[in-house]
Amino acid sequence: MSEVKPQALVLDFGGVVTRTLFETHGLTEHSLGLKPGTLDWRGPFDPASDPLWCSMQADEISERDYWKTRTREVAQLVGEDWQDMSTFVQRARGADPQAVVRPQAERAIHIAHEAGIRLAILSNELDLFYGKSFRERLPLLELFETIVDATYTKILKPDARAYAMVGEALQLPLSACVFVDDQKRNVDGAIAAGMPTVHFDVARPAQSYAEALSPFGLTLS
């Protein structure tokens, strides 16, 4: 049986297309008027500094629970009461979504698009965390053929149905869709669903995007 030729690149959004909130603590502190160094939780960049992150990685809490806690904590620091993650992200990242897009992501996405590779996003919380206006103000997303967002589908990765939804939207077998995510549990779910995968390393974005383009015979130049 011949190997299926990859035809689509399916990306997670937060952490893969955009820099993580861990990487932009300085921007967050500046935007919120907090003293530099106030935010000391570093997630994957320093797990020892972040027991809550370790609990999430151990599947003791969900990713949404992790960010609900951080949202409450940061809101308290500025004397406010934020009801959702999108308020945190929008307040932390200011008015320019482009400022938090990974340059490697922008380059890789344009390379894939220009080569005729189909593009999709499979996210657990794009609009839930970022807000619909963020998406509308990010021209890069216009290059994506489909966005499957659990904000609306209510089906979270690593549920097999989430991956099936993106395959159905693209009308492609999952074996023809290369999936990229920074959370190992989501990568494992994609593997179980029959997708070729790249476990995105937020500390090495250029290397990860090079790996993502490789199955298509493309390079990150």
Segment 134-148 shows an average pLDDT of 93
- Let me know if 37 is exposed, middle or buried by CB neighbors in 10 A (0-12, 13-18, 19+): exposed
In this prediction the pTM is 0.92
Q: Quote the distance between the C-alpha of residue 202 and its chain's center.
A: 10
For the chain, the straight-line distance linking the first and the last C-alpha, in angstroms and rounded, comes to: 33
Q: Does residue 1 register a pLDDT over 50?
A: no
Separation CA 179–CA 74 (nearest Å)? 32
Give the per-residue pLDDT at 2.
Answer: 47
Segment 145-161 shows an average pLDDT of 97
Contacts of 156 (CB under 8 A, 6+ apart): 124, 150, 162
Give the per-residue pLDDT at 95.
Answer: 65
Mean pLDDT of the chain: 94
Confidence of residue 18 (pLDDT cuts 50, 70, 90): very high
Q: Does residue 65 register a pLDDT over 50?
A: yes
Q: Is 175 helix (H, G, I), strand (E, B) or coil?
A: helix
Q: How many CA atoms lie within 13 A of 3 on its CB side?
A: 7
Confidence of residue 63 (pLDDT cuts 50, 70, 90): confident
Which helix or strand (DSSP H or E) is residue 25 part of? helix 25-32
pLDDT digits (tens, 9 = 90+) for 175-206: 999 999 999 999 999 999 999 999 999 999 99
Separation CA 218–CA 221 (nearest Å)? 9
Q: Which residues of 141-156 are buried (b: 16+ CB within 10 A; e: fewer)?
A: beebebbbbbbeeeeb
Q: At residue 179, what are phi and psi to the nearest 5 degrees?
A: -105, 135
Q: Cβ(147)–Cβ(10) under 8 Å?
A: no
Give the per-residue pLDDT at 94.
Answer: 67
Give the per-residue pLDDT at 129.
Answer: 87
Type of residue at 107: R
Domains of the chain in sequence order: 8-19+101-216 (3.40.50.1000), 25-97 (no CATH)
